[in-house]
Amino acid sequence: MFDSIHEECGVFGIYENTCADTASSAYFGLYALQHRGQESCGIAVCDDGVFRHKRGDGLVSEVFTREEIQKLGKGSMAVGHVRYSTTGGHNPNNIQPLVIRHVKGNLALVHNGNLVNAAELRRSFELSGAIFHGTSDTEAIAYEIVRERLSCSSTEEAVERAMPRLRGAFSCILMTATKLIAFRDENGFRPLCIGKTHDGAYVIASESCGLETVGAEFIRDIDAGEIVVIGKDGLRSIRTHCSVKKNICVFEYIYFARPDSVIEGMSVHRARLTAGELLAKHSPADADIVIGVPDSGLDAALGYANESGIPYGIGFIKNKYIGRSFIQPQQEQRENAVKIKLNAVRETVAGKRVVMIDDSIVRGTTSARIVRLLREAGAKEVHVRISSPPFLHSCYFGTDIDSEENLIAGKCHSTQEIAEYIGADSLAYLPVEALGELTGKNCGCCCGCFTGEYPVDITGAGGKNKFDEKIHK
């Protein structure tokens, strides 16, 4: 519906010491991670080596009724996934978990991120006779692991061998008949953490909020390049590919993650407050009220208000029954459609000079509509402040940023031009050099979509639908 940035995916896994209702645990974990993907979801359960799974289009609550959870039954392990299609487009075969039966057993794989060499990997498998059913990067990861598994003694060894050939972003959980294996790329682009319940079950999730939902206590983040193996003997770590460098996507803090999550030791809520404080220092405005665009703009707005001394107010009401993936209406309906999801609070903004905080501007059309809402509600002035730098480049690691020719910051010559386009009295972005303060001292960040400088060589990465665009003869 909006020209906004979309989430990548969310992954969840649980290992119990005994047969338990792991399907329900996965359901609740995915519910907590629903903000990371609202297009499709799935759960796979392992019961004494037998895999049962359910996948479908829609929200977790739509796909998994009570009856569907009961059909999955109990088991010692489960993995789950919520998806927004960054690569591969809408294809039922792309819905995860990806369940594979190979000569040495079964595996179920869930993946968050994008590989930059997925097309190269896929082509090499196709030339050797492999048949791909979907168009996502995840199949290439699974094939790479299975190929290595045929010549080594364990799945974790296969993962260890395969990882150097997986270039890009991957935070994965893999379930075999006897163990749960989590692994993360050497840059740590996408978050992944581990926790433990009071009865000894291990839980892995994209964000710490996914742990807390099932009563698990956060233990730590899985390190960049680390492989964590959970089985009957407990937890062990393989650190062959661990790196001192970390380049987590900075947009996890700005937009993707839930504010109650903690990623790499930094509270997401605190990071967004800091972004707002930095905006107030770098780009002050003479105004009467500070408001935020729900949801990720709210914490930054509070930070701006705290630093500037301008009162904070509730400027918008968001329809809580419409998710971020609300069905896009026809072209002629779009002007009114924004009001279905968002309405300005006239009591807050009428007759006032307003500072409006949002997380980003992509093509500019949504920002223009939101500013118009404030004008129609009686705002005297609208000063827009963005808690990220301008988008100038594409992302190749799992964030669904539009192509460069459609990004308004790339098309316009100045911030003033963008301000005029969206109808704002003034506009300012968070400076690129301030981004490091959002992630904390112990973690670097990837800012490639703002700077064009990527931690990984992106040669041959292709676009979002790189597999759909190619026809092999």
Is the pTM value of this prediction over 0.95? no
Cβ proximity of 98 and 138 under 8 Å: yes
Among candidate residues 165, 163, 160, 158, the one with its CA nearest the CA of residue 185: 163
Contacts of residue 294, defined as CB under 8 A and 6 or more positions apart, other chains included, come to: 316, 318, 342
Q: Is residue 217 part of a domain?
A: yes
Q: Is residue 59 part of a domain?
A: yes
Q: Are residues 353 and 425 in the same domain?
A: yes
Q: Are residues 279 and 220 in the same domain?
A: no
Among the candidates 218, 247, 276, a domain finishes at 247
Mean pLDDT of 411-415: 83
Q: Is residue 321 part of a domain?
A: yes
> How close are the terminal C-alpha atoms of the chain, in Å?
36
Structure confidence at residue 329 (pLDDT): 46
- SS3 assignment, position 401: coil
Upstream peptide bond of 359 is cis (omega within 30 degrees of 0): no
Mean pLDDT of 302-329: 81
Q: Is residue 304 part of a domain?
A: yes
Given a cut of 70, is residue 7 above it in pLDDT? no
Rounded Cα–Cα distance for residues 461 and 454 (Å)? 12
Given a cut of 70, is residue 297 above it in pLDDT? yes
Q: Are residues 307 and 225 in the same domain?
A: no
Instruction: Look up the CATH number of the domain holding residue 313.
Output: 3.40.50.2020
Per residue in 137-175, pLDDT (tens digit) is 999 999 999 999 999 999 999 999 999 999 999 999 999
- SS3 assignment, position 104: coil
Rounded Cα–Cα distance for residues 261 and 241 (Å)? 26
Residue 30 half-sphere exposure toward CB, CA atoms < 13 A: 35
Q: Are residues 406 and 280 in the same domain?
A: yes
Q: Are residues 210 and 61 in the same domain?
A: yes
Number of structural domains found in the chain: 2
How far apart, in Å, are the Cα atoms of 279 and each of 183, 276, 307, 308, 348? 36, 5, 9, 9, 22
User: With bands split at pLDDT 50, 70 and 90, how would you rate the model's confidence at 227?
Assistant: very high
Rounded Cα–Cα distance for residues 88 and 94 (Å)? 7
How far apart, in Å, are the Cα atoms of 191 and each of 183, 199, 248, 399? 11, 25, 7, 13
Least confident segment among 28-37, 262-271, 342-351, 457-466: 457-466
Q: Is residue 255 part of a domain?
A: no
Q: What is the mean pLDDT of the chain?
A: 90
Rounded Cα–Cα distance for residues 248 and 254 (Å)? 12
Region of 264 on the Ramachandran plot (φ > 0 left; ψ -120 to 50 alpha; else beta):
left
Given 9, 209, 249, 443, the catalytic residue:
9
- Burial class for 446, CB neighbours closer than 10 Å (0-12, 13-18, 19+): buried
Structure confidence at residue 447 (pLDDT): 94
Cβ proximity of 345 and 378 under 8 Å: no
Cβ proximity of 396 and 458 under 8 Å: yes
Q: Is residue 27 part of a domain?
A: yes
Given a cut of 80, is residue 92 above it in pLDDT? yes
Q: Is residue 467 part of a domain?
A: no
Q: Are residues 314 and 361 in the same domain?
A: yes
- For residue 19, indicate whether it is catalytic: no
Among candidate residues 96, 149, 138, the one with its CA nearest the CA of residue 113: 138
Q: Are residues 220 and 283 in the same domain?
A: no
Q: Are residues 226 and 319 in the same domain?
A: no
- SS3 assignment, position 5: coil
Q: Are residues 228 and 164 in the same domain?
A: yes
Fill in the amino acid letter for 45: V
Number of residues assigned to the chain: 473
Q: Are residues 386 and 239 in the same domain?
A: no
Q: Is residue 403 part of a domain?
A: yes
How far apart, in Å, are the Cα atoms of 441 and each of 28, 118, 254? 32, 32, 17
Contacts of residue 358, defined as CB under 8 A and 6 or more positions apart, other chains included, come to: 292, 293, 297, 367, 370, 384, 385, 386, 387
The radius of gyration of the chain from alpha carbons, rounded to an integer in Å, stands at 22
Q: Are residues 171 and 308 in the same domain?
A: no
Rounded Cα–Cα distance for residues 283 and 178 (Å)? 55
Given a cut of 70, is residue 241 above it in pLDDT? yes
Cβ proximity of 219 and 202 under 8 Å: no
Among the candidates 181, 215, 247, a domain finishes at 247
Given a cut of 80, is residue 129 above it in pLDDT? no
User: With bands split at pLDDT 50, 70 and 90, how would you rate the model's confidence at 113?
Assistant: very high
Q: Give the rounded percent of residues in the chain with a pLDDT score beyond 70.
A: 90
Q: Are residues 210 and 282 in the same domain?
A: no
**Residue with structure tokens 């000894």?**
200
Per residue in 209-221, pLDDT (tens digit) is 999 999 999 999 9
User: With bands split at pLDDT 50, 70 and 90, how would you rate the model's confidence at 6?
Assistant: low
The residue range of the domain holding 407 is 266-451
HEC string for 228-239: EEEECCEEEEEC
Per residue in 270-293, pLDDT (tens digit) is 999 999 999 999 999 999 999 999
Rounded Cα–Cα distance for residues 256 and 438 (Å)? 14
Instruction: Look up the CATH number of the domain holding residue 94.
Output: 3.60.20.10
